C-alpha cells in the first residue's frame, strides 16, 4: 500500500503549495483589515482605548461610549470597508474587461458621471435622499461607461489614449458639477462630498450600499471563470466557447453597479479602483480572476480604511476627505503605470 502522498499524481504537490500561497496574502490582508477597522473605531476626536471601545460595542448601557461606537465610528468603518471593496473590484473588472491597466471607475470618468447625475437630482429634487440617489448614480455611471465602451471597442483611441479620454471626460463632468452647484447655491454642503468622503456615515448609508456589494461580489465569484476569459481577446474567448458579448455585458453592468453605489454613498473617491488591482496582482500566488477579486475585496478596504485614518489624523482637528488622501497616493502611481505602459 502506498501512502496517499506517493500515490497522488505529480501535479497535486505543486497544486497544494500553490493553494497555501493563495491563502497567505488573503490572510495577511484580512489581519491588516481587522487591525485597520479596530484603529478606525478607536481613533478620532475623542480617543477610545480598545477596552472601552469593545465595552461600548457590546454593553448596551446607553453610555456616551456606546452611542459613539455604535452610531458614529462603526458605521463609518463599515461604510469605508464596503466602498473600498466596491471600488477595488470595479477597477479589477474594468481592467480585465478593457484589457487596459489604466482602467478604473475614476480614470474612465464613471465616478464623475455618477456624481453629475447625483448632483443634478439633488438640485432638482432635494427631497430625494439616501437610497433615492442610487438610481441616478447608476444612470450617470452607465452613460459614461457606454461612451468609454464605445471608444474602447471602436478602437478609436489607444490604451493610453483611452485613459486620457476618461480623464478629459472626468474634467468636463466635474466642471458641470461645479456649474450646477454654483447655479443652485449649494456649494457649501457638497464640496466635501465632491472630494470623496465617508464623513457623516450612518447605518442608512450602509444599508444603501450593502446589497449591491454583496450581490455583485457574489456574482463576480460565481462567474469569475467566465469574467477571467475577458482578458483574452474576443477571438480566443469565442473559440473557447464563451458568449463574449454576454459576459462583457455582465462585466460592464457589474462595474456600473459597484461604482455607482459607491459614489452614491461616499462621493467620487478616486484611484482606489486603479491601484488596488495592480497591488494585489503583485502579491504571491496565481493570477486567477476569482482569487484576485477576493484579494481586491479585502485589499481595497485596507487601503481606504488606512487613507481615512490618515485623513483624520494628519489634519487634526480638521478632517481631510478620504478622496484627497487617495488622490495624493494615487496620482503618482497613475504616472508610474502610464509610464510603464509606454515601455511595453
Helices (H), the chain: 4-7, 12-42, 50-58, 64-67, 74-98, 110-124, 134-153, 159-184, 187-194, 203-222, 224-229, 234-239, 244-266, 272-282, 289-314, 322-343
In the chain the first and final C-alpha atoms are separated, in Å, by: 53
Instruction: Kindly tell me which of 183 and 235 has the beta carbon lying closer to other proteins.
Output: 183
Cα–Cα dist 89/255, whole Å:
8
Residue 160 Cβ, how far from other proteins at the closest point, in Å? 5
- Residues in contact with 154: Cβ distance below 8 Å, sequence separation at least 6, in sequence order: none
Instruction: Kindly tell me which of 175 and 234 has the beta carbon lying closer to other proteins.
Output: 175
Instruction: Kindly tell me which of 12 and 187 has the beta carbon lying closer to other proteins.
Output: 187
CA neighbor of 294 nearest in space, from 37, 19, 27? 27
Residue 141 Cβ, how far from other proteins at the closest point, in Å? 18
- Contact positions toward other proteins, by CB under 8 A? 102, 151, 155-158, 160-161, 163-165, 167-169, 171-172, 175-176, 178-179, 182-183, 185, 187-188, 191-192, 195, 270, 315, 318-321, 324, 327-328, 330-332, 334-335, 338-339, 341-343
CA neighbor of 199 nearest in space, from 111, 141, 269, 144? 269
Instruction: Kindly tell me which of 191 and 222 has the beta carbon lying closer to other proteins.
Output: 191
Instruction: Kindly tell me which of 227 and 263 has the beta carbon lying closer to other proteins.
Output: 263
Residue 192 Cβ, how far from other proteins at the closest point, in Å? 8
Q: Identify the burial level of 27 via C-beta atoms within 10 angstroms of its C-beta, where 0-12 means exposed, 13-18 middle and 19 or more buried.
A: exposed
Residue 113 Cβ, how far from other proteins at the closest point, in Å? 13
Instruction: Kindly tell me which of 151 and 230 has the beta carbon lying closer to other proteins.
Output: 151
Residue 208 Cβ, how far from other proteins at the closest point, in Å? 25
Cα–Cα dist 96/277, whole Å:
10
Residue 179 Cβ, how far from other proteins at the closest point, in Å? 5
Amino acid at each position: 500500500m502506498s501512502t496517499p502522498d506517493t500515490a497522488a499524481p505529480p501535479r497535486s504537490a505543486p497544486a497544494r503549495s500553490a493553494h497555501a500561497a493563495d491563502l497567505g496574502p488573503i490572510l495577511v490582508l484580512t489581519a491588516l483589515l481587522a487591525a485597520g477597522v479596530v484603529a478606525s473605531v478607536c481613533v478620532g476626536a475623542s480617543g477610545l482605548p480598545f477596552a472601552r471601545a469593545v465595552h461600548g460595542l457590546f454593553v448596551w448601557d446607553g453610555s456616551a461610549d456606546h452611542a459613539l461606537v455604535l452610531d458614529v465610528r462603526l458605521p463609518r468603518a463599515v461604510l469605508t470597508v464596503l466602498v473600498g471593496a466596491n471600488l477595488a473590484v470595479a477597477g479589477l473588472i474594468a481592467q480585465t474587461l478593457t484589457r487596459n491597466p489604466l482602467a478604473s471607475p475614476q480614470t474612465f470618468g464613471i465616478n464623475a458621471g455618477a456624481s453629475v447625475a447625483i448632483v443634478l437630482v439633488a438640485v432638482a429634487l432635494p427631497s430625494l435622499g439616501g437610497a433615492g440617489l442610487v438610481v441616478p448614480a447608476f444612470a450617470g455611471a452607465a452613460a459614461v461607461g457606454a461612451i468609454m465602451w464605445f471608444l474602447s471597442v471602436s478602437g478609436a483611441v489607444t490604451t493610453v489614449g483611452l485613459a486620457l479620454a476618461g480623464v478629459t471626460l472626468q474634467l468636463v463632468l466635474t466642471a458641470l458639477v461645479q456649474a450646477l452647484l454654483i447655479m443652485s447655491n449649494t456649494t457649501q454642503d457638497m464640496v466635501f462630498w465632491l472630494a470623496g468622503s465617508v464623513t457623516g456615515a450612518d447605518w442608512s448609508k450602509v444599508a444603501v450600499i450593502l446589497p449591491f456589494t454583496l450581490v455583485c461580489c457574489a456574482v463576480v465569484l460565481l462567474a469569475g471563470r467566465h469574467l477571467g476569459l475577458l482578458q483574452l481577446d474576443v477571438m480566443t474567448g469565442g473559440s473557447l466557447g464563451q458568449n463574449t458579448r454576454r459576459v462583457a455585458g455582465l462585466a460592464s453592468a457589474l462595474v456600473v453597479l459597484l461604482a455607482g453605489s459607491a459614489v452614491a454613498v461616499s462621493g467620487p473617491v478616486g484611484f482606489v479602483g486603479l491601484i488596488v488591482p495592480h497591488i494585489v496582482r503583485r502579491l504571491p500566488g496565481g493570477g486567477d480572476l476569482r482569487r484576485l477579486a477576493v484579494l481586491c475585496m479585502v485589499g481595497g478596504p485596507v487601503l481606504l480604511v488606512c487613507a481615512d485614518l490618515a485623513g483624520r489624523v494628519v489634519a487634526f482637528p480638521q478632517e481631510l476627505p478620504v478622496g484627497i488622501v487617495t488622490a495624493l497616493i494615487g496620482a503618482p502611481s497613475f504616472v508610474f503605470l502610464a509610464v510603464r505602459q509606454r515601455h511595453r
